[in-house]
Amino acid sequence: MAGGGASRQKSCNACVQGKRKCDKALPACGRCAGMGLVCLYGGRLPSARPSSSPPDGSMMTLDDHLAYDETTPVLPDTLDFAMAEVMPVDCTAEPGFSTTENGFEAFLESIIAPQPQFTAPSDQLEWVIQDSPSPTPILRKEDYPKFGSLCDAYQPWHLADSNTRVSFVVSVVKSFCPSFAQNSCTPFLHKELYQSFMPGCVLKAWTTCSQYTNGTATNRGMVLRVLHENVADLHETADSRNVMTSMERLGRLHALIFYQVIRMFDGDITLGSDAAGDMTVLEAWATDLLKLRDNLDGLARLPQDMRRERPPETWQRWVFAECVRRTCLMAFMIVTLWKLLTKQSPARGPMGIWAYEHRWTLSRHLWDAPGSFEFCKAWNEKPFFYISGFGFREFLECGRPDDVDSFARILLTVTLGIDEMKTFESEPEGQLGSNRQDLLTGN
């Protein structure tokens, strides 16, 4: 090699950079071939993606690989989420944020999935793929005092009354597909989540939502055909994959949520039957995703000032972790809503999944932050609350209407009631309304 002697590096650049075992195969190692990466040897990065073989079709040699390097090494503009890991993501770190690109690279590297060529001591490999500890059911019906009247007294005509909580929930759930089609986000799917990598199933779901939202009587048959084929493809892909990345597991749940919402409320009998058949799948995939969830154990019981001392390592890491928390909770809410509307008794005992704590972060300032800098500033200066399911006592004691994000507004309205939520939101800026004590009753 000209200019500095022969390189001692034997593994390809991608495996060295990713700290993975390289089988040193030519023209591309097994790991790069499996991930669709450019495989180069010699410590250099390409300025453009070369073809895997020369134009004449002959086999590339090591010298051919090195000849493709024509400029100084550069990093890609976007980082690939495609191999997001299968392990739980710890969203806390020592005090101090990382707002640089290196911080994002560290997050990406922390969720890279091990490839078939990966070797490690048995104890280390077990740590890499182990699931989160199984939660212990600790909640009872008495912990949901405001939901008795909502569930026990439900009648079909309540959907026609816009002042009922059931009607409110149904209207909100129906809005998920138009929101995703028009804004590429929902109250449980952050706008930044799929910016660097979007699983194919999510892109198909977005296309389906767009077509369904803008559909006409003329093209309805074609739209429903696309919906049917995309649902079938989602099931086939999930059934054929032995290992799925974290992003793919989250993405398939997002896709199924959108498909379920369309089929639940379209009004077509066949679609409704299909939705009923996939409710167990929706619940199973959401339950599976709990293995990835950081449920804020320990952090939720800390006072506000101590929570600030344990920020997430990066904004992107927090976005992923919070989307997992919110998506799991929303999926369980949709399953419960379906059982309520179809008057089914719970399938797994009197409490089922609601016997467990499902925590999430209430903060418009964090959720709506447009970038890493704004997120860090909000973390240090604005209030945020760790909510366990529908338990809003801490927030109602000192929270403000300005703190409420779109997801929190849904759950607060379901918990408090429509008129009570309107009263809360009408509080003068900077003042705690006199109705707080009434709202705290039962929370």
User: Which tens digit of pLDDT belongs to each residue from 179-233?
Assistant: 999 999 999 999 999 998 999 999 999 999 999 999 999 999 999 999 999 999 9
Predicted pLDDT at 38:
74
* Percentage, residues of the chain above pLDDT 70: 67
Average pLDDT over residues 37-51: 55
> Stretch 93-119: mean pLDDT, rounded?
40
pLDDT at 4: 47
Cβ pair 93, 66 in contact under 8 A? no
Residues of the chain with CATH 4.10.240: 1-74
More confidently predicted of 321 and 142 = 321
* Nearest alpha carbon to residue 342 among 249, 420, 264: 264
Average pLDDT, the chain: 76
Predicted local distance difference test score (pLDDT) of residue 14: 79
Work out the pLDDT band at 105, boundaries 50, 70, 90: very low
Residue 19's pLDDT is what? 74
Using an 8 Å Cβ cutoff, are 374 and 398 in contact?
no
Model-level pTM?
A: 0.69
Contact 11, 22 (CB under 8 A): yes
Tell me what pLDDT residue 127 has. Answer: 25
Mean pLDDT of 233-257: 89
pLDDT surpasses 90 at 368: yes
Architecture in CATH of 1-74: Irregular (4.10)
Q: What share of the chain is helix, strand, coil (3-state, %, to 5)?
A: 50, 5, 45
Q: What is the DSSP letter of 216?
A: -
The reported pLDDT for the residue numbered 354 is: 81
- Hey, which residues does 189 pair with through a beta bridge? 186
pLDDT of 108 reads 42
The residue whose two tokens read 């903060």 is: 363
Mean predicted confidence (pLDDT) in 400-418: 93
pLDDT tens sequence across 123-167: 322 222 234 445 555 666 666 666 666 666 778 888 888 888 899
Is the pLDDT higher at 349 or at 51? 349
Does residue 441 or residue 268 have the better pLDDT?
268
Please check the confidence at residue 86 and state whether its pLDDT lies above 70: no
